[in-house]
Amino acid sequence: MGSVIKGVQTTISQNLGGVAQKLAPADQQFSLEHVPDQTGKVAVVTGGSEGIGYGSSHTLLSKNISKLFIISLSREIVDGAKKSIADELGQEKADRIHWIQCDLTDWKRVTEAAKEISDSSDRLDILINNAGRGIMSYKLTDYGVEEHMALNLIGHATLTSHLMPLLKKTAEKGDKVRIVNLASNAHMSAPKDTKFESLDELNTDLGAMGQYGRSKLADLLYARYLARHLTPSHPNILANAVHPGIVKTRQSEELIHEPFPVAGYAMSTGMSPFKKSVFEGCVSSMFAATTTEKSGQYICPPAAIEPGSDLAQDEALGEQMMKLASEIVQQKTNNVKDGCPMKFY
């Protein structure tokens, strides 16, 4: 009975807002108050102007991050975020934000965005791969690749690859560098027969939840891939994946009705009283981005280390996934020399 109660407490503390996080065991406790001072550091947050990404951006700025690059699509949304930060933290903090407009499904534009960052900063301490296509219907990008995988995995892997020289340069100074991938417990919804063997497999319509779950599995596998290939040779670079919990965002309030016009109300309305705020939702991201000393972890809120599904622990699957991603980028961009096609680390 004790283990059942503990399991229920863990589920509640990892997923729900309010006092729920206080149910976590003492060794898994973490809050935004525990985020250390970030003076002198530089961060990149994709999707950092709304939702969980805004929570991360706001927190880093409140902890005195020296420069913050936000990669996103909408000028209107980022202007609103900057105004809120100016109102709450002061104009000087808002002025530390450098916005780069970029569609992460456009891998050539991602390459340009990474260059803009590298050309305007001599260091990069934190990379939070936060942006993503949520639980939405099947759609192909202009490259002819299913959009969840094209954005959530391949867009971020391309960005990370092109920022790697700057990340390594920072780590070589003796500073810890942390890469954070936004995964989700929804990775358990990925089909059990996922193999990442071909583009045809990626482009199979799995339904909104299946596609989202597979892309979140991919984000988790990618963090562990980086931990295997990168951390041993560059021990100051840590790569981890996180689960945010159930958070009140535009995805869970509005966009969920795109694939589920009626059933989506269970999430948008039914779960509303229990959802986390964006600040509660970024707690695991902040632990991974500022505090953990380990690599290859799957961190659930507040700071619980979990194994993930069997697929998430399959190293061979992660290797095959990144091999396929590399081949797709090379084929679709026709850019072997500059398009990070051979390695994603």
What does the alpha-carbon distance between residue 109 and residue 14 come to, in Å, rounded to a whole number? 35
Tell me, yes or no, if 212 is annotated catalytic: yes
* Alpha-carbon radius of gyration of the chain: 19
Buried b / exposed e along 148-167 (16+ C-beta atoms within 10 A): bbbbbbbbbbbbbbbbbebb
Given strand 177-182, what is the order of strands in its sheet?
97-101, 67-72, 42-46, 126-129, 177-182, 237-242, 298-300, 304-306
Instruction: Reply yes or no on whether the pLDDT at 345 is more than 70.
Output: no
Mean pLDDT in the chain?
Answer: 89
Encode pLDDT of 250-288 as tens digits: 564 665 656 646 455 555 566 565 657 999 999 999 999
The answer to whether the beta carbons of residues 131 and 70 sit under 8 Å apart is no
48-76 confidence digits (pLDDT tens): 999 999 999 999 999 999 999 999 999 99
CA distance 50 to 56: 9
The model's confidence at residue 27, banded by pLDDT at 50, 70 and 90, is confident
Q: How many whole angstroms separate alpha carbon 322 and alpha carbon 161? A: 12
Q: Identify the active-site residue in 54, 143, 212, 225.
A: 212
Nearest Cα neighbor of 90 from 82, 98, 101, 79 is: 82
pLDDT surpasses 80 at 8: no
Which one of 82, 93, 216, 248 is the catalytic residue? 216
* % pLDDT > 90, the chain: 78
Residue with tokens 């990442």: 196
- C-alpha 226/C-alpha 313 separation (Å) is 14
**pLDDT tens digit sequence for 293-318:** 999 999 999 999 999 999 999 999 99
DSSP 8-state secondary structure symbol assigned to residue 267: I
SS3 category, 343: coil
CA–CA distance, 141 with 32 (Å, rounded to integer): 36
Separation of alpha carbons 310 and 166, rounded Å: 33
For 165-196, the pLDDT digits (tens) are 999 999 999 999 999 999 999 999 999 999 99
**Residue among 66, 72, 76, 33 at smallest CA distance from 52:** 72
**What pLDDT, on a 0 to 100 scale, did the predictor assign at position 280?**
96
Average pLDDT over residues 24-39: 92
| Separation of alpha carbons 70 and 47, rounded Å | 7
Q: Which amino acid is at 290?
A: T
Q: Answer yes or no: is pLDDT of 127 > 90.
A: yes
- What is the pLDDT, as a whole number, of residue 12? 61
Q: Span 111-118, mean pLDDT?
A: 97
* Alpha carbon distance 307, 310 (integer Å): 8
Query: Could you tell me the maximum CA-CA distance found in the chain, to the nearest angstrom?
Result: 59
